Structure 1
Amino acid sequence: MAGFQDILGHEQIIEHLQNAIKTDKVSHAYILDGPDMSGKKMIADAFSMTLECEKKGTEPCMECHSCKQALGKNQPDIIYLQHEKPNTISVDDIRSQINNDIGVKPYSSPYKVYIVDEAEKMNVQAQNALLKTIEEPPAYAVILLLTNNAEIFLPTILSRCVRLSLKAVPDEKIKAYLMENYEVPDYKADVCVAFAQGNVGKAIELAESEDFNEIKNSALQLIKRLDDIELYEMTEAVKQISNYKLKINDYFDLIMIWYRDVLLYKATADVNKLIFKEEVYEIKKEASRSSYGGIENILEALEKAKIRLNANVNFDLVIELLLLTIKEN
């Protein structure tokens, strides 16, 4: 758990929340909307700690009894909703943990804060149950809905919450942060930043990954060998990729970075702007034999493959189709 000062980026959202605290105009319900690992949880934690902090500033002091409780995840007036079903937040979850509890005044703090992570998992019945509470909340109640897809909420939920959408953090900020705090070498920081696309959590995850080089090398070796692979040999390539099934989107993102490098070099012939600078010989070779349209087709095929896998289309079929598209282009 960290304070606002420890959060990288999202300055406008932080300023909005701090101003709400300073002017005593805290809303009863907020939606923090952004991709997974983008910082929603850190912002919610910092906001809830600050609301309950005994020093009553715009940053949690980290020293008072409330802050120490929050740091230890046992502040009784900061409640994290739990749900047994991994893909659903049910009406019973909302009723038992929020609706039936919110009428009880805070134990020791000015506010009672409810944090609902992965709020997009609320089914319609759960949203309707929550709506009744959001419409007439006690003055001390603050509900934070953390989601990667606010559009899934009922219009009535959206209209009664303050919606704060997290934006991408600039690449140069993420790179400097990784090099300073994780001692990541320059070339690896470039790959992590390109891979993260403005998402600090994703960049950190890759920077901390023990098998980063293994995943990267596996992806690049496959790309380099595709021209020489016969169709019947692709089965083995599919098996190799399936070793990374839990991180397949990361695997695809690394391949996309490679082809963006190829496209960039083909358009500009500028080696200095490449992410995979150490692969410049292979990138030059790929750029010389690929058309602009072919590279665009590959990038589109990678996006489609990610969508299909998220929709639970057969894994081997998606991978084989993707490899065929790359090989043809």
Structure 2
Amino acid sequence: MKKNGIVGHGLQLDHIEMMLRNNKIPQTLLFSGIPGIGKRRIALRFMKALFCSGEAPPCLGCPSCLQIMNGTHPDVIELSPNARGTIPIGDTGEPGTVRWLIDRLAKRSISGRYGVIVNGVDHIAVQGQNALLKTIEEPSDGTVIVLVTSNKSLILPTILSRSTEIPFYQLSSEEVLTILKSHGIDVPHATAAAEMAGGSVELAVMLTEKENLDDIISLAEEICRFVRHGGFLNLEIDNIQKKIGIENVMSIMVNIFRSFLLGTLDGTAPDVIFADINIPDEKMIRRIIKIFLALRRGLTVNLNINQALKGMLYSMHDMDDTGLPDLTMAHIDTIG
């Protein structure tokens, strides 16, 4: 399978190529891994290989390959989250919904097979996943389904057990930087953006926008200043939260403080962009990382992130260093 235009994931691509070469393709594949690392791009390349009419598929130039690239192939169907961030169960007459997909797959295909990409299966509610399960269990002849997820824990165990998983891992900072430059993004702070993105091109692109980067640096600066000197916390995160999403903010902060920790352990100088805001105390850095990891996990219980973050930072000197900090509301209400 041609790898041109794809950076990283060599083992995963080799695995997919072997399945194609041996004609041993599972009916349902699960591509898992953090957001923004190329899982959907590889799923589309896989579909091109399945439907390609040229030599050494995917040739990337035959009518089928070009149709898939343009999203016009009649037998390659993709579901993605809507503007609300969900893939609804919907109805047979509502394109982009689970029941619409099931109805499409019940009809005769033009080419003799269907290829399906569910890009964000973890964005389907339980009812919708249960409806999709029957199609996964009993797909029509020749149908190949690729489920793409960044949060496997939100997928029904019954779907997981019927899928062949191919895990994708974060890209290196060098690989992220290569992708940014290949797309013409070569701003002065691109290297720092790649480092903070934790292997996600999606996050790196967000951070190449100077306003986003400035907001993130301001947040890190305030936390570092508080750890070194104490005082009061303002933590104005509403602006950056609205622009890139609170889960992305949490992930970026984890990556930033992990880089501080590595610098403390091996003596590596921080990126020039953080030269004045590092924390020399290894224990405090570890606690900050744990706070952001706990907050990211707590997003599913509708936490007031600003309040929770302040409370946990105010009490970090009393924090237990085993496991993640307590996130119950009783704990949060008693601190800060």
Q: TM-score, normalised by structure 1?
A: 0.79
Equivalent positions of 1:203-218 (< 5 A) are: 203-207=204-208, 209-218=209-218
**What is the CA distance between 1:31 and its match in structure 2?**
1.2
Query: Compared with structure 1, are the counterparts of its residues 314 and 191 closer, same or farther at alpha carbon in structure 2 (3 Å cutoff)?
Result: same
5+ long unaligned stretches in structure 1: none
Query: What percent of counterpart residues are identical?
Result: 24
SS for the counterpart of 1:243 is helix
Q: Larger Rg: 1 or 2?
A: 1
SS for the counterpart of 1:197 is coil
**Contact persistence 1:256–1:299 (CA under 8 A):** yes
Aligned to 1:243: 239
Which of 102, 105, 115 is the aligned partner of 1:102? 105
Higher mean C-alpha displacement, 172-181 vs 299-308: 172-181
Partner Cα separation in structure 1 for residue 129 and residue 298 of structure 2: 28
**What is the CA distance between 1:179 and its match in structure 2?**
4.6
**Contact persistence 2:28–2:163 (CA under 8 A):** yes
User: Could you give the per-residue CA deviations for residues 127-180 of structure 1, whole angstroms, max 9, x where no partner exists?
Assistant: 333332233323221111111233443443233322111122233333344355
Equivalent positions of 1:164-183 (< 5 A) are: 164-179=166-181, 181-182=183-184
Equivalent positions of 1:1-329 (< 5 A) are: 4-55=3-54, 57-61=56-60, 63-81=61-79, 86-87=85-86, 89-90=88-89, 92=91, 93-98=97-102, 100-107=103-110, 109-179=111-181, 181-182=183-184, 184=186, 188-207=189-208, 209-223=209-223, 225-226=225-226, 230-231=231-232, 234=233, 237-238=234-235, 240-246=236-242, 247=244, 248-268=246-266, 270=267, 273-283=268-278, 286-287=279-280, 290=281, 292-325=282-315
Partner Cα separation in structure 2 for residue 27 and residue 167 of structure 1: 21
**What is the CA distance between 1:42 and its match in structure 2?**
0.6
**What is the CA distance between 1:215 and its match in structure 2?**
2.2
Report how many aligned residue pairs link the two structures. 309
Partner AA of 1:71 in structure 2: M
SS for the counterpart of 1:25 is coil
RMSD over aligned CA atoms reads 3.2
User: Could you give the per-residue CA deviations for residues 1-33 of structure 1, whole angstroms, max 9, x where no partner exists?
Assistant: xx7421211222222222222332222211111
**Contact persistence 2:295–2:305 (CA under 8 A):** no
Q: TM-score, normalised by structure 2?
A: 0.77
Query: Compared with structure 1, are the counterparts of its residues 127 and 35 closer, same or farther at alpha carbon in structure 2 (3 Å cutoff)?
Result: same
5+ long unaligned stretches in structure 2: 92-96, 320-336
